[in-house]
Amino acid sequence: MSIRRVNSGLHRALRGAWLSATAGSILVGAGMALVCTGTADDAIAAAATAPPSEPITAGGPVSFRRLSEAQYKRSIEDIFGAGIKIPGRFEPPLREEGLLAIGDGKVSVTPSGIEQNELRAREISAQVLAEGRRKDVLSCAPASPTAFDKGCASAFFGKYGRLLFRRPLSAQEMNSVATVAGAATLRTHNFYKGLEAGLGRLLESPHFIFRVEKGVPDPRRPGAQRLDPYSLASRISFFLWDAPPDTELLDAAASGTLRTQAGLEKQVDRLMDSPRFAQGVRAFFSDMFAYDQFDGLSKDQTIFPKFTSQMAKDAQEQALRTIVDLLVTNKGDYRDLFTTKKTFMNRNMSALYQLPLENSDIEGMAGLNAWVPYTFGADDPRAGILTFAGFLMLDPTHEGRSSPTIRGKSVRELLLCQPVPMPPPNVDQSLVQNTGDPAHKTARERLTVHQQNPVCSGCHAITDPIGLSMENFDGMGNFRTQENGALIDASGTFEGKSYKDVVGLERVLHDSPTAPNCLVQRTYEYGVGRSLTASEEKWVEFAGERFAEDKYQFPALIRRIALSKAFQAVASDRLASAK
């Protein structure tokens, strides 16, 4: 299991700039002392029968994560209802250590981004409090529509401030937003315009735009810290739903029941039993599989005339539907994603895969975007996610051809958690890119010559064999047996095991511990929003062992992480990185 140190310099800078008055300090002391009683024979017998205990970890620094565009939009819809238009441009995300979820904790807000946030805040608040909608969000009426009513305004800001900040407003925050609303009411002689101004102030606050976490003393471990109840509620909700905590979860945080094991289990199970859990799983795998690269993906239209932006969306959707069906609906083995013949198909994808429309699985499609279950035949060259267009076409750097190097790098980094070094500058790529060279017709032949460069050979040795296994599929994901009239050789070896094509490679990946171990690491890092700390290594290894015992069922892994003490632990930067 690879462990990466936390680089939290930018995190600290952001937290200091935005929240120096409110984030608080993080003080972590020694771990809990373990006291043993009873005879040695008793201890031996207990150790032989008791399940392995969860390793104690110091955790890591609290997170300070910017909401993604999807999380921002979902928050507005969850809090104020459907139909609110979200204007403006969102700043691009940052992928760090393999995940956008980690990059979200290392991004800042540019001056342009601040302007966009202010624009959105004004327009959203105006829509929320428009005459036709305000009755849905107000539980009271002002004494006069032209004068400020502090009681009614406080009830409104108390309710929606709690949902937006994912915790109750402090007395100072409540007074501040009420002052803004009162001044705007006085200026406009309109109580609702005053509420608009106050709501806009909440919407442009870093406490809404960022997921701000806070540590508090952990009574179970003197000197150590854990997330405060509201930070825990938010971390759980975004982990399971990719959405802010709902009222019931916030109520559990307020009452203290979220701190009890029974209360925590109740809330985690409730969220996982909701249809929205599938939404959270889709969000995680979209991040892990780097589906953000679909945004703006293009292909050379002279080579791939069938490519459209809708086809790119459908390729992504096919993979996500397959993932949710296997892992959530059927609680299947995660490793089966590498070998499954079962997927979903619509007319767009059936055309890409050159499936006959009279096939009984797809002939009843009502329209272009109607999805139906589909099973590839035993002799079909497709099986597993590496043969889906959602993986094969996702190469934003090569619009006109496939790239074994990029595909191999994607498998290594995204699915196996094995970072590949960046290529050295000024590498001559002319031979690799010359697909018309009569002396080197296939990608394997071109790369063989390229690998003779000692500067490049090291990295290509770990990427190209994997990528070449997928050369039977072009840059769109169309199946082929030849390139430039020459037969394609897709054979290779992985971890000492030979295969003849990508389906064979996927069987090897299925049986390798590397892929599920990577998933455990990625899932935990996604949930906490940072790279693993050294102190968490044993816990992640423990979780990987339990994952195998649970027959690699992804919901079981998610639940174990959400209920763990590791998920709540908070440490200073010094203790988090200490061996």
425-439 per-position pLDDT tens digit: 665 555 555 565 565
Rounded CA separation 144/422 (Å): 65
Q: Give the model confidence (pLDDT) of 121-144 as tens digits.
A: 999 999 999 999 999 999 999 999
The confidence score (pLDDT) of residue 436 equals 56
Mean pLDDT for 338-367 is: 79
Q: Give the model confidence (pLDDT) of 177-223 as tens digits.
A: 999 999 999 999 999 999 999 999 999 999 999 999 999 999 988 88
Task: Evaluate if residue 51 carries a pLDDT over 60.
Answer: no
Task: Write the secondary structure of 320-332 as one string of H (helix), E (strand) and C (coil).
Answer: HHHHHHHHHHCCC
The confidence score (pLDDT) of residue 446 equals 73
Rounded CA separation 508/495 (Å): 8
pLDDT band of residue 457 (cuts 50, 70, 90) is: low
The confidence score (pLDDT) of residue 534 equals 92
Provide Rg for the chain, Cα atoms.
27
The confidence score (pLDDT) of residue 426 equals 61
At 205, phi and psi to the nearest 5?
A: -75, 145
The confidence score (pLDDT) of residue 450 equals 59
pLDDT band of residue 300 (cuts 50, 70, 90) is: confident
Mean pLDDT for 499-507 is: 97
The confidence score (pLDDT) of residue 429 equals 58
Got the DSSP string for 536-560?
Answer: GHHHHHHHHHHHHHTTTBHHHHHHH
The confidence score (pLDDT) of residue 443 equals 72
Q: What is the pTM of this model?
A: 0.87
- E strands present in 39-104: 64-66
Task: Evaluate if residue 41 carries a pLDDT over 50.
Answer: no
Amino acid of residue 153:
A
Task: Evaluate if residue 451 carries a pLDDT over 90.
Answer: no
Q: Mean pLDDT score of the chain, rounded to an integer?
A: 86
The confidence score (pLDDT) of residue 284 equals 98
Q: Give the model confidence (pLDDT) of 410-424 as tens digits.
A: 999 999 999 988 776
pLDDT band of residue 48 (cuts 50, 70, 90) is: very low
Percentage of the chain lying above the pLDDT 70 cut: 82
CA dihedral for 377, 383, 389, 393, sign (positive or negative): negative
Higher pLDDT, 29 or 151: 151
The confidence score (pLDDT) of residue 222 equals 86
pLDDT band of residue 572 (cuts 50, 70, 90) is: low
Rounded CA separation 197/178 (Å): 10
For 211-246, b/e burial (b = at least 16 CB within 10 A) is bbbbbebbeebeebbbbbbbbbbbbbbbbbbbbbbb
Rounded CA separation 465/488 (Å): 13
Task: Evaluate if residue 96 carries a pLDDT over 70.
Answer: yes
Mean pLDDT for 286-299 is: 93
The confidence score (pLDDT) of residue 428 equals 54
Q: Give the model confidence (pLDDT) of 233-261 as tens digits.
A: 999 999 999 999 999 999 999 999 999 99
The confidence score (pLDDT) of residue 363 equals 57
Mean pLDDT for 471-484 is: 90
The confidence score (pLDDT) of residue 46 equals 36
Alpha-carbon torsion angle 547, 551, 553, 556, nearest 10: -50
pLDDT band of residue 330 (cuts 50, 70, 90) is: very high
The confidence score (pLDDT) of residue 442 equals 73
Mean pLDDT for 42-64 is: 68
User: Of the candidates 272, 296, 221, which has an alpha carbon nearest to the alpha carbon of residue 32?
Assistant: 221
